[in-house]
Structure 1
Amino acid sequence: MKKKIIIGCFIFAAALLFAFFNINNKTGIPDRTGSWAHINQSVERSGDWKKIVEDSPFQLGEKSVRGSWNTPDGNGKEDYYEIKFGTYPSIDGSTVAVPMAAEFARQHLGLSDEDANDFACFSTTHYAYENLIMKRPNTLGMFRSTSTFLDENHPVDLIIVTEPSDEEIAMAEQNNVELTIAPVCYEAFVFITHKDNTVESLTVEQIQKIYTGEITNWKEVGGQEKKIKAFQREKNSGSQTAMENMVMKGIPMLPPAMVKVAEGMGMLVDAVGEYENSQSSIGYTYKYYIDTLYKNENIKVLKIDGIAPEPDNLRNKKYPFTTNYYGVIRKEDEQKTGGRFLEWMLSPVGQKCIDQAGYIPIN
C-alpha cells in the first residue's frame, strides 16, 4: 500500500513539473503528448459552427485548489486546481477521434477551442482500450488557461476508437470485462502512395499480394518498373488491426523484419510521401486522418476496385474498406455516465455534433 502511494505521488509530481513548464504556452496548440504527437494540423471550430446542444445534463463537477507553485517570473505564487468529472464522462480514444471529443466539449461544456483541445487529449488506441478495461484514468487532459488538472483518480468511462484487436478482446476476457461496442460514424480505411505514382487503383487481391510478398514491383499492377516499398504499422495500432481484420482477413502478412514498420500514423504518412521514395511506397491509414489531422502534399489515395472512398460510397458500403469509429464502454456501465453519453452520441443531436466535427454520421 505504501509503495502504491509513493508511486502515485511521484506520477502526480511529474505531471506538475510537466504542466509548470507548459502552462504558459498560450498558442492554442496542445502539448505534443499522446494523440497530439500525431497531429500536424490545427483543430478548431469551422466558420459556420453552430451551437447544437442546449441545457446539457453532462457537466464537469467541483473545482478546488490543489496547491500552488512559483510564478514563471519567480516573484510570487499562483494556485493550481483540480476539477472533478461530475456527470461528464472521462473519455479516451484513438487519434482520429480527437476532433469529435473536442466538439463534444465545446457543445456540452461551452469550452473555447484552446480548452477543448487541452481537454481532448487521448492516449491512442491500444492504451485507450487498456485504460477502459483496467479502469485506469486518462491523465493527459488539463486546462492550461486556468492551471486546472482533471481528476487523476477517475477511471475512463468511454473510449472513441477503431475496432479492437484480438489482443484487446483477449485482455477484456481475461479481466472479466464485457464491452459494449457501438458504431458512431462511417470511415474509410485507405491506401496511400506517392502522388507521382502512375497507379490510381488497386484490387483487394493485389493489395493482399503486395503485403504477402507475392507482388513486389509496381509494374505487376500496371505501374512503372519500380520495387514496391510497403509500410506497415505497429501491432495493436488501430490501422494495423483494420489491415489484419478487414483487408488481409487471416492471410499472413510479411513479418515486421521483412517490411518497413512505422511507429505512428504521421510517421507512415511522411514515409510514403518522402521525395526519395517517389512512386515506390505504399501504406495505409484512415481518410479522416489525412484529410483533417495530418496532411502531406506528396501523397494520394488509391481507389480500391476502381471505387473512391467518397461519403456516398461509405454510406452505401460500395467502397470495399468501409469501416467505423466506435463508442466503447464497459457493459456494466450502460446505465452510468459512459452508457448515457454513448446513448446521446447515437441520438439525432449527437449525430449532428459528429457531423459538424467533419465525420460521416452513422444515422
Structure 2
Amino acid sequence: MIAPMAFSVLLLIGFLFFTGVGLLYLLFMGLIHYIPLVVIGVVVLYIWIVMMIFHYFNTKKRKKWFGIIAGIFVMGAAVWPIMHLYKESISTVDAEVDVFYYEPFSMGRETKLVSLDEAATLTLEDNLPRIDGATALYPLYAAFVHAVYPEKEYNPYDSEVMVNTTPVAYDNLFSGEVDMILAAGPSDAQLKTAKQKGLELKLTPVGREAFVFFVNQKNPVTSLELKQIQDIYAGKITDWKEVGGNNEPIRAFQRPEDSGSQTALERLMGDIPIMDAPEENVPEGMGGIISEVSKYRNYKNAIGYTFRYYSTEMVGNDEIKLLAINGVEPNKETIRNEEYPISSEFYVVTAGTENPNVEKFIEWMLSPQGQELVEKVGYVPVKKP
C-alpha cells in the first residue's frame, strides 16, 4: 500500500502535468482569462484531496473554514472570466460583411449588386485593370466591374477585382499588385511611403460620403458640435454629462492606423493631438500577447465612427444611432447640399500604372452612367446630373 506522503507527491506530479497541458491549451485557444480560475481550482482540489488523505477534515469547523477560504479564492479568480463573458455579450458594431453578396456576375447566388438598366458605353475584354479597395466601397466598384468587364468569376480575394481593408489596398497599390484602388484619401504615413518608393499618387474623386459618429441607441445624446467631437477625441471632454447626456464616462473608440476612417478622424482633428485609443490584449499563437485597438463594443457610454453607407447599408446595425453634427443629420441630401459638415470625397487612386485601360475606366466612372451607379448604390455623385 502506498504511504499517504508518497501518494500525495505522485498526485502532485499528475496534477502539475495535466494542469500544464490544460494551460497550454487555454493559451493556444486564446482563453487566457480562464487561467487564474483553472489554477486556483486545481490548487483547491489538490489541497482538499491531500487533507482528506491525512484525515484533516475530522471536525465540521475545519470543513467550514476550508470551504469559506476556498470559496473566496475561487470567486476572486472567477471575476476575470465573468467580466470577459460580459464584454463578449456586448455586440461589436464593425461586424464582418459578407462581400460575396456584391460579387460581380455572382453565379446563382443571392445578390445585392446594383446594375445599370442599359448596356454600358464602355466594355473591356482584355488588359483588365486590377482593382482593390476599401470594404465600404466594394459594392460600388463591383457594380462598375459588372457593367464594364467581361462576364466571369471575380473572387473578392483572388482575382482582378479584390476587396481588402484600406491599408492593405494601399500596400497592394504601392507594390504593383493592383493598378488602382477605390478608397478614402491616403494617410500621412501612406503619402510618406509613396514618396519613399518614388510613386506619384493620382487621386480622382468619384463620389462623396459622410464621415459619421455613432452611439448606443439608449444614449440620450442625439447631436454633437464639431468642437465637442474634437474635445472628446482630444481627451478634454470625458463624461457624457458635459454634452447633455448621462453622468457616465465616455468610451471613445478608435480604428487601426492607416484605415480610411482613422485617417478621416486625423483630418478632422487637424493639429489637435488625438488621445490614446482603448486597447485590449489579444492572444497570438502559442501564448504570445499583442495589444491592438479595441473593436467598438456597443456599451451604453461608447462612441465610435465610420462612414455612413457602411453603417446604414452594409452592416445595418439597429442597436446604434448616427449623431447629427452641428444639428445636421448625415444623409444623402445633406451630403449633396454640403450641409453636413464632415462629408468628403472618396477616390480612385493610381500610382503610375502602365495599363492602357485604367484611364478609360476612370473616365467612364465619371460619365453619366458611372455617376448613375454611384447614386444607385447609395453614395452621392461628384457630378450633378
Name the TM tier (shorter chain): 0.5 to 0.7
Within the candidate set 191, 202, 206, 2:224 is matched to: 202
Answer yes or no: is 1:287 the counterpart of 2:308. Answer: yes
Within the candidate set 75, 86, 92, 2:132 is matched to: 92
CA contact (8 A) 1:40 1:295 kept: no
Within the candidate set 154, 169, 172, 1:131 is matched to: 172
Q: Identify the residue that residue 277 of structure 2 maps to in structure 1.
A: 256
Residues of 2 paired with 1:52 and 1:116: CA distance?
A: 25
Q: Identify the residue that residue 88 of structure 2 maps to in structure 1.
A: none
Q: Identify the residue that residue 53 of structure 1 maps to in structure 2.
A: 119
Residues of 2 paired with 1:248 and 1:283: CA distance?
A: 15
Q: In structure 2, do the counterparts of structure 1 residues 259 and 206 end up closer, same or farther at CA, with 3 Å as the change threshold?
A: farther
Residue 92 of structure 1 aligns with an amino acid whose one-letter code is: D
Q: What do the CA deviations read for 1:111-146 (whole angstroms, capped 9, x no partner)?
A: 48x8575754312111111211221x2xxxxxxxxx
CA contact (8 A) 2:120 2:369 kept: no
CA contact (8 A) 1:183 1:325 kept: yes
Residues of 2 paired with 1:353 and 1:116: CA distance?
A: 21
SS of the aligned residue for 2:254 comes to strand
CA contact (8 A) 2:95 2:315 kept: no
Residue 337 of structure 1 aligns with an amino acid whose one-letter code is: N
Q: Identify the residue that residue 373 of structure 2 maps to in structure 1.
A: 353
Quick one: percent identity of the two aligned structures? 36
Within the candidate set 160, 181, 190, 2:203 is matched to: 181
SS of the aligned residue for 2:148 comes to helix
Within the candidate set 157, 161, 183, 1:161 is matched to: 183
Q: Identify the residue that residue 313 of structure 1 maps to in structure 2.
A: 334
Residue 369 of structure 2 aligns with an amino acid whose one-letter code is: V
Q: Identify the residue that residue 253 of structure 2 maps to in structure 1.
A: 231
Residue 344 of structure 1 aligns with an amino acid whose one-letter code is: W
Q: What do the CA deviations read for 1:210-260 (whole angstroms, capped 9, x no partner)?
A: 111111111100111111111001111110000001x21121011236799
Structure 2 spans left out of the alignment, 5+ residues: 1-93, 103-109, 282-290
Residue 134 of structure 1 aligns with an amino acid whose one-letter code is: S
How far did residue 89 of structure 1 move? 0.8
Q: What do the CA deviations read for 1:22-60 (whole angstroms, capped 9, x no partner)?
A: xxxxxxxxxxxxxx983157436569854433363312x
CA contact (8 A) 1:106 1:116 kept: no
CA contact (8 A) 1:165 1:241 kept: yes
CA contact (8 A) 1:105 1:111 kept: no
Q: What do the CA deviations read for 1:134-193 (whole angstroms, capped 9, x no partner)?
A: 21x2xxxxxxxxxxxxxxxxxx11100011000111111111111110111010000000
Residue 38 of structure 1 aligns with an amino acid whose one-letter code is: E
Residue 318 of structure 1 aligns with an amino acid whose one-letter code is: E
Residues of 2 paired with 1:126 and 1:220: CA distance?
A: 35
CA contact (8 A) 1:233 1:262 kept: no
Residues of 2 paired with 1:134 and 1:47: CA distance?
A: 29
Considering fraction of residues, name the structure with more strand: 1
SS of the aligned residue for 1:38 comes to coil
What are the equivalent positions in structure 2 for 1:56-67 lying under 5 Å apart?
A: 56-59=122-125
SS of the aligned residue for 1:168 comes to helix
Q: What do the CA deviations read for 1:59-93 (whole angstroms, capped 9, x no partner)?
A: 2xxxxxxxxxxxxxxxxxxxxxxxxxx23210001
Residues of 1 paired with 2:131 and 2:261: CA distance?
A: 20
Q: In structure 2, do the counterparts of structure 1 residues 351 and 232 end up closer, same or farther at CA, with 3 Å as the change threshold?
A: same
Answer yes or no: is 1:329 the counterpart of 2:347. Answer: no
How far did residue 348 of structure 1 move? 1.3
Residues of 1 paired with 2:116 and 2:363: CA distance?
A: 22
Task: Give the structure with higher Rg (CA).
Answer: 2
Residues of 1 paired with 2:195 and 2:230: CA distance?
A: 30
Residues of 2 paired with 1:296 and 1:48: CA distance?
A: 21
CA contact (8 A) 1:184 1:362 kept: yes
Q: Give the TM-score taking structure 1 as reference length.
A: 0.68
Structure 1 spans left out of the alignment, 5+ residues: 1-35, 60-85, 138-155
